[in-house]
A and B are shown apart, each in its own frame.
Chain A
Amino acid sequence: MWKQLKKHRSSSLASSTSGGESLSEEELARILEQVEDKKKLIATMRTKPWPMARKLAGLREAQEFVEKYEGALGKGKGKRLYAYRMLMAKKWVKFKRDFDNFKTQCIPWEMKIKDIESHFGSSVASYFIFLRWMYGVNLVLFGLIFGLVIIPEVLMGMPYGSIPRKTVPRAEEEKAMDFSVLWDFEGYIKYSALFYGYYNNQRTIGWLRYRLPMAYFMVGVSVFGYSLMIVIRSMAGNTQGSTNDGESDNFTFSFKMFTSWDYLIGNSETADNKYASITISFKESIVDEQESNKEENVHLTRFLRVLANFLIICCLCGSGYLIYFVVKRSQEFSKMRNISWYERNEVEIVMSLLGMFCPPLFETIAALENYHPRIGLKWQLGRIFALFLGNLYTFLLALMDDVHLKLSNEETIKNITHWTLFHYYNSSGWNESIPRPPLHPADVPRGSCWETAVGIEFMRLTVSDMLVTCITILVGDFLRACFVRFMNYCWCWDLEAGFPSYAEFDISGNVLGLIFNQGMIWMGSFYAPGLVGINVLRLLTSMYFQCWAVMSSNVPHERVFKASRSNNFYMGLLLLVLFLSLLPVAYTVMSLPPSFDCGPFSGKNRMYDVIQETVENDFPTFLGKIFAFLANPGLIIPAILLMFLAIYYLNSVSKSLSRANAQLRKKIQALREVEKSHKSFKGRATARDSEDTAKGNSKNATQLNKEGTTHHPASPSQTLDQKAQGSRASSSAGRTVSPASQHPLASDQTLAKPSLRLVLGGQPLEGVLRDLPTDSWD
């Protein structure tokens, strides 16, 4: 078929060229332009507001046009290549489409989430979409860490038991396999590749000469870099969709009327709730509207708000102090021998309990404040954020004390090690002819490895957090639902309608929990490479578990609200948490010396010395000089200043652009108003003198109309307005002729705007109007 087509084209080309060189330059250019237009039309056909039959017809016509002429445009020898390029382009489009089909198939859990969306509305589904996105990010981070750090160490590094840092000390050996010990991440797990302490500080390992310490450091840095990049990219993608200029307050009622229905609802119960919430929302707005002039006691409100804030600050300080106290106590516990399970896990339990009980407490206190619900929600989220943040940082500070304590002990441990080895090698009772076997790694006295201890703390926090979430869901949602469902038959009051009734899905609480867990992962992943893997597992199980829990034990919200642009709010929080979790890691890397006998940086003065070493030893010397030159403060400080200036400049440019935008918009509106008042004026005026010359004018008008369409002046709104004008003009027969209509300038104006001439006549023009192509619509 391809050959036939080519023959057909070549014959048509031959005939046209033999027919007197009709393909001149301008004609070619014109045809090319038309072909481009048709191609654009084909590409955007699906966005046209036409019925399907018209779209199909238009598509067929455009495709035939393009087929007919695109071959003819290639001249002479280039023609074959041109046709070949067309074929390749078509194949590429088809390939892209197939690839897109394939890609959409690969999105996991899509059906689950759509199911939830139809039952609970888009806001609950947005939490699950966020969870899925988080899972993707964590998967990538896990791939990085696993592939570049854990696998090389496990495959090419020294095996377990060969050197002291990789072996369980003799004292702990009998209990190292106990489940309770393993659950606390001690025992064999502590001395495995999951934690920092396992890694050897050899500069290169294996036959590949893989530089593990360097890789460890760079992976730690790139975890943060990748997370930062992906959060910012996601935020930028979200803001692209909405060019909100903050005028949403002006349209409350309109928005309520036209956008409150959630078209994705597919379940009658949710629909009922939605109706009820819309009704209530209307009633509330009406009441708001009527009460907006009501006098309110400003002083009382202000006093109450100050009181509420004071109470909440007290709560926050109290919780911070409680955590500090508990962490200090746990340090003392670790010195004792027989500690109960509660004492071991006190810190995590207290933190989780605080996270569970304080938010409802804040809500009850916030009832004093009497804010508008949307503002109240923001305050509530802000307070919960402060609570979590305070808790986390207090925890970190207490941990820091612990670390400093361990570091100060290092000197004594070094001494002990030295003397032990000395005694071992010099003790009597050994045949001096054969060299002594080296001391068994398990017997070597070990320094307390502070990095591993920190990693273990984060691991335990993550695990306990997950357990607490599970238990909360099981008890708070599932058992409650079972209780309400089954006890309702034999209970005095209606359990389903009154207390306790079924639980609603707490979106903001869950999202904040997710964000803070991610923050903890970011903080802990440098010291415990296995943490990200645990998190991936956790997110996976959490997805399935929460999907099941939501569908089985939750009911749709009474006030079903939209997901709207609060997505960017959560992304912003995530970004903030990312920075905040970067700070402790950066501080410890920069200022604390690594442990002397564990981890990939042992023996160095600071962790970042590994970079300097690599640059000196592995890179050619001139690169070393370049790096030294670049790291010169004299160069870096001006660079930072330059960046600040660039930010300031871009900021002011964007401000001025948005101001210009607003002004243009106002201008357009003003112009439109002027036009409309002109039209109604003219319509009434010209109706009079057009009635005698209706026939002749209508003929001219159709002519002008045709020219008008080729210049695309008419937008659909204008055509609609003209229909209205036409009907109005024909009905307003008895108006006085204003002098302006006799003015010659008026007729010029009507000629200049062919759309105005269409006002005349009415009936026969309507058919023409209906057939106006609405390409200018976009």
Chain B
Amino acid sequence: MGNKQTVFTHEQLEAYQDCTFFTRKEIMRLFYRYKDLAPQLVPLDYTSYPDVKVPYELIGSMPELKDNPFRQRIAQVFSEDGDGHMTLDNFLDMFSVMSEMAPRDLKAYYAFKIYDFNNDDYICVWDLEQTVTKLTRGELSAEEVSLVCEKVLDEADGDHDGRLSLEDFQNMILRAPDFLR
């Protein structure tokens, strides 16, 4: 693969490499994945910074996201207006944070935003209930769900205000041995 790609200018690619964890090849590969989601919508020439958004339904059908219970939240968190429709910039951002080269605190920050369903910058009881329901696909009974949420608040709520702030979440998640994905 030579240097003869015409999608981005040289400076654009360098800037993307500085702002994400990806190499040039990976950025081009991601661009082609993005384009394959909506071939008619996405132009082949990004040198003029076109303003193109791929609707959420197409993003949610990607094989990497299709089975993920939080795909809607993920798309909402990374999209421009919080509606799930993503531009190429958002797309690159999303994959950069999800990649294995991103540091833990960056992932923790975005994980907090994903689990905060009502976007009030706190994970309250309702958010927790939503999370559990999505994780178990409704298999747990209502009292089991509320017991779980209560236990989580017990464990992780440091300032005892009945909901998890970013600090509480970060404190807890950075101790998790498995938290990297």
- Residue pairs across A and B with Cβ atoms less than 8 A apart, 30 shown, are A45-B19, A47-B103, A49-B109, A51-B80, A52-B92, A97-B23, A122-B181, A242-B177, A244-B177, A245-B175, A253-B152, A254-B156, A254-B172, A257-B132, A257-B135, A261-B70, A261-B135, A266-B67, A268-B66, A271-B67, A271-B68, A275-B136, A275-B139, A282-B136, A282-B148, A289-B151, A565-B177, A717-B165, A720-B165, A723-B121
Is A56 part of the binding interface, using a Cβ–Cβ cutoff of 8 Å? yes
**CB < 8 Å neighbour of B140 from A46, A51, A97, A283:** A283
Give Cα A103 to B141, complex, Å: 51
Contact A252 B155 (CB under 8 A): yes
Is B98 part of the binding interface, using a Cβ–Cβ cutoff of 8 Å? yes
Mark B residues whose CB is within 8 Å of A. Answer: 15, 17-21, 23-25, 63-64, 66-70, 80, 89-90, 92-93, 96, 98, 102-103, 105-106, 109-111, 115, 121-122, 128, 131-132, 135-137, 139-140, 144, 147-148, 151-152, 154-156, 158-159, 165-167, 169, 172-173, 175-179, 181
A83-105: which residues lie under 8 A (CB-CB) from chain B? 97, 100-101, 104-105
Interface stretch (choices A153-161, A373-381, A669-677, A695-703)? A669-677
Contact A669 B158 (CB under 8 A): yes
Contact B166 A282 (CB under 8 A): no
Contact A51 B144 (CB under 8 A): no
What 1/0 mask marks residues of chain A from 247 to 282 whose CB sits below 8 Å from any chain B CB?
110111111011111111111101100010011001
Contact A564 B98 (CB under 8 A): no
Is A59 part of the binding interface, using a Cβ–Cβ cutoff of 8 Å? yes
Taking the nearest CB of chain A, how far is it from the CB of B32, in angstroms?
A: 16
Contact A56 B132 (CB under 8 A): no
Is A692 part of the binding interface, using a Cβ–Cβ cutoff of 8 Å? no
Give Cα A122 to B180, complex, Å: 11
Contact A283 B135 (CB under 8 A): no
Taking the nearest CB of chain B, how far is it from the CB of A255, in angstroms?
A: 5
**Beyond A59-B18, A101-B24, A250-B155, is A257–B128 a contact (Cβ under 8 Å)?**
yes
Q: Which 5 A-B pairs have the closest CB atoms?
A: A271-B67, A52-B89, A253-B151, A279-B136, A717-B167
What 1/0 mask marks residues of chain A from 235 to 251 whose CB sits below 8 Å from any chain B CB?
00000001011011011
Give Cα A51 to B80, complex, Å: 8
Give Cα A265 to B179, complex, Å: 15
- Collect the chain B residues with CB atoms within 8 Å of residue A278's CB: 135-136
Is A716 part of the binding interface, using a Cβ–Cβ cutoff of 8 Å? yes
Is A286 part of the binding interface, using a Cβ–Cβ cutoff of 8 Å? yes
**Beyond A263-B68, A278-B135, is A720–B177 a contact (Cβ under 8 Å)?**
no
Q: Give 4 A-B pairs besides A49-B106, A253-B154, A565-B177 with Cβ atoms closer than 8 angstroms.
A: A52-B90, A60-B15, A286-B144, A563-B178
Contact A248 B175 (CB under 8 A): yes
Taking the nearest CB of chain B, how far is it from the CB of A726, in angstroms?
A: 13
Closest to A774 in B: B109
**Beyond A259-B176, A283-B140, is A254–B155 a contact (Cβ under 8 Å)?**
yes
Contact B131 A257 (CB under 8 A): yes
Give Cα A717 to B15, complex, Å: 30
- Collect the chain A residues with CB atoms within 8 Å of residue B178's CB: 255, 259, 562-564
Is A172 part of the binding interface, using a Cβ–Cβ cutoff of 8 Å? no
Give Cα A325 to B65, complex, Å: 58
Taking the nearest CB of chain B, how far is it from the CB of A449, in angstroms?
A: 51
Is A778 part of the binding interface, using a Cβ–Cβ cutoff of 8 Å? yes
- Collect the chain B residues with CB atoms within 8 Å of residue A262's CB: 181
Contact A51 B155 (CB under 8 A): no
Is A55 part of the binding interface, using a Cβ–Cβ cutoff of 8 Å? yes
Taking the nearest CB of chain A, how far is it from the CB of B178, in angstroms?
A: 4
Is A494 part of the binding interface, using a Cβ–Cβ cutoff of 8 Å? no
**Beyond A42-B18, A257-B128, A562-B178, is A266–B137 a contact (Cβ under 8 Å)?**
no
Contact A47 B106 (CB under 8 A): yes
Taking the nearest CB of chain A, how far is it from the CB of B92, in angstroms?
A: 6
Taking the nearest CB of chain B, how far is it from the CB of A291, in angstroms?
A: 13
Contact A51 B175 (CB under 8 A): no
- Collect the chain A residues with CB atoms within 8 Å of residue B21's CB: 46
A70-122: which residues lie under 8 A (CB-CB) from chain B? 97, 100-101, 104-105, 122
Contact B135 A676 (CB under 8 A): no
Give Cα A720 to B131, complex, Å: 22
- Collect the chain A residues with CB atoms within 8 Å of residue B96's CB: 46
Q: Which of B111, B155, B178 has the most CB of A within 10 A?
A: B178
Is A53 part of the binding interface, using a Cβ–Cβ cutoff of 8 Å? yes
What 1/0 mask marks residues of chain A from 645 to 683 whose CB sits below 8 Å from any chain B CB?
000000000000000000000000100110010000000
Mark A residues whose CB is within 8 Å of B. Answer: 42, 45-47, 49, 51-53, 55-56, 59-60, 97, 100-101, 104-105, 122, 242, 244-245, 247-248, 250-255, 257-268, 270-271, 275, 278-279, 282-283, 285-286, 289, 562-565, 669, 672-673, 676, 716-717, 720-721, 723-724, 777-778
Give Cα A661 to B117, complex, Å: 35
**CB < 8 Å neighbour of A279 from B106, B140, B172:** B140
Contact A55 B19 (CB under 8 A): yes
Contact A259 B179 (CB under 8 A): yes
Contact A275 B18 (CB under 8 A): no
Contact A261 B140 (CB under 8 A): no
- Collect the chain B residues with CB atoms within 8 Å of residue A270's CB: 67
- Collect the chain A residues with CB atoms within 8 Å of residue B181's CB: 122, 262-264
Taking the nearest CB of chain A, how far is it from the CB of B12, in angstroms?
A: 9
Give Cα A302 to B55, complex, Å: 61
Taking the nearest CB of chain A, how far is it from the CB of B136, in angstroms?
A: 4
Q: Which of A105, A255, A289, A721 has the most CB of B within 10 A?
A: A255
Give Cα A777 to B112, complex, Å: 15
Taking the nearest CB of chain B, how far is it from the CB of A70, in angstroms?
A: 17
Taking the nearest CB of chain A, how far is it from the CB of B116, in angstroms?
A: 11
- Collect the chain A residues with CB atoms within 8 Å of residue B18's CB: 42, 45-46, 59
- Collect the chain B residues with CB atoms within 8 Å of residue A100's CB: 23
Give Cα A262 to B64, complex, Å: 11
**CB < 8 Å neighbour of B15 from A51, A56, A251, A257:** A56
- Collect the chain A residues with CB atoms within 8 Å of residue B152's CB: 253-254, 257
**CB < 8 Å neighbour of A721 from B80, B132, B165:** B165
- Collect the chain A residues with CB atoms within 8 Å of residue B176's CB: 248, 251, 255, 258-259
**CB < 8 Å neighbour of A265 from B67, B109, B121, B166:** B67
**Beyond A263-B68, A282-B132, A282-B140, is A247–B175 a contact (Cβ under 8 Å)?**
yes
- Collect the chain B residues with CB atoms within 8 Å of residue A47's CB: 102-103, 106
- Collect the chain A residues with CB atoms within 8 Å of residue B17's CB: 97
Give Cα A45 to B102, complex, Å: 12
Contact B136 A59 (CB under 8 A): no
Closest to B12 in A: A56
Give Cα A737 to B121, complex, Å: 30
Closest to B147 in A: A286
- Collect the chain A residues with CB atoms within 8 Å of residue B128's CB: 257
**Beyond A263-B68, A282-B136, is A52–B173 a contact (Cβ under 8 Å)?**
no
Closest to B65 in A: A266
Give Cα A271 to B71, complex, Å: 13
Closest to B166 in A: A717
Contact A251 B110 (CB under 8 A): no
- Collect the chain A residues with CB atoms within 8 Å of residue B92's CB: 52
**CB < 8 Å neighbour of A672 from B136, B137, B159, B179:** B159
Give Cα A59 to B173, complex, Å: 30
Q: Which of A51, A250, A258, A266 has the most CB of B within 10 A?
A: A258
Taking the nearest CB of chain B, how far is it from the CB of A556, in angstroms?
A: 12
Give Cα A278 to B70, complex, Å: 14
